[in-house]
Structure 1
């Protein structure tokens, strides 16, 4: 890997492109404390996780508009109630015109309810599990969600975490372009090598800047390409 660019240089570039420090600060994402994340219910997190699965590769607005119907169809996403659905009931929901007709994503709601329930049994709650995970190994949390859940690979798991306020960077197209263009990574982003290299770089930038991973990720994206944040 090449020598990492100093975070201050990335910050200056973002400010030059976006109209100054205050403009950049106004575009930074919001993160929550571990205590705040720990207050989420399992149902709230299962709903958010399921919504992110449906939004992946689909028109987000359509998913958002239909989500109240999902809340009703899946008992407000209470994991135990979701797990009581029979195969026929799951199939009915997968073909319901009031919802989105997608068998695999509908089944993922049930599969991920199993994950939430199992992790909750281990840690007291799914929220506690997410809250306590250290940010200097956030890609380890990505891997765990992908391994234990369903359809949570790629950016789906990270976007879910960001939505719920967990501090994480995102591998958007612009962030990936920066990391490859500056030789921060020398492998494909689906590889564990690239994730380790990326995590190490973000950890160093965090030590330099004192900012969150989410803020660093956004600053990088604001300073390059098309600002796909």
Structure 2
């Protein structure tokens, strides 16, 4: 890239991936709806390349009511059929149903007065973990702990590898590689 920035190697060869890396990946996210959206998208990504999800992100947002958990929680079998026929998204029935169930769980948590954001960040006392620049780790003991708790609550497609990718995406862990210009920004201090 000619802008002079050194990036994590996965973000070098595609403009959409560069923008995602430079503007979003690894930035600590505290908005509960956005944390949930990213968890659901990471579930859709399972078995696929993240670039596929990024390219379909606008279609996902349209199909899933901008990932408004209250709206998605009310989806019916008609909505499942609509989503299964939508070529703009990943049409995996188990993942679609998991997203609807995930919205219902999110809403149940909110009804009990439990913030999804506080839940997500409770595992790190609200602070990002800065790892030693190992951008290719697949899971961690912490992602295993979070995965178990999410599964206990009923979430699906939240295995330790998916959870770790989500933790990286939403900035719960900083796995920008050594030398990456996004590794040392002020939001990690």
CA distance in 2 between counterparts of 1:30 and 1:67 reads 18
Q: Report the RMSD for the aligned CA atoms in angstroms.
A: 2.8
1:52 matches 2:42: yes
Normalization by structure 2: what TM-score?
0.64
1:41 matches 2:15: no
CA distance in 2 between counterparts of 1:91 and 1:112 reads 18
User: Deviation of residue 108 (structure 1)?
Assistant: 1.2
CA distance in 2 between counterparts of 1:218 and 1:123 reads 37
Q: 1:160 aligns with which of 154, 162, 166?
A: 166
User: Deviation of residue 218 (structure 1)?
Assistant: 6.5
Normalization by structure 1: what TM-score?
0.53
CA distance in 2 between counterparts of 1:104 and 1:85 reads 14
- Residues 159 and 122 (structure 1), Cα distance of their counterparts in 2 relative to 1, 3 Å cut: farther
- Residues 123 and 49 (structure 1), Cα distance of their counterparts in 2 relative to 1, 3 Å cut: same
1:108 matches 2:98: yes
Residue of structure 1 equivalent to 2:147: 142
- Residues 95 and 68 (structure 1), Cα distance of their counterparts in 2 relative to 1, 3 Å cut: same
3-state DSSP of counterpart to 1:152: coil
CA distance in 1 between counterparts of 2:78 and 2:27 reads 40
User: Deviation of residue 140 (structure 1)?
Assistant: 2.2
CA distance in 1 between counterparts of 2:108 and 2:82 reads 26
CA contact (8 A) 1:73 1:93 kept: yes
Number of equivalent positions:
142
Uncovered stretches (5+) of structure 2, i.e. residues with no partner:
1-5, 9-24, 130-140, 179-189
CA distance in 2 between counterparts of 1:58 and 1:125 reads 30
User: Greater helix share, 1 or 2?
Assistant: 1
Who wins on radius of gyration, i.e. which is larger?
1
CA distance in 2 between counterparts of 1:76 and 1:63 reads 15
1:62 matches 2:61: no
Residue of structure 2 equivalent to 1:118: 108
Uncovered stretches (5+) of structure 1, i.e. residues with no partner:
1-22, 168-213, 220-229
CA distance in 2 between counterparts of 1:31 and 1:73 reads 25
Deviations 1:65-123 (A, max 9, x none): 11101101111111110011111211210222222221111111101112222233345
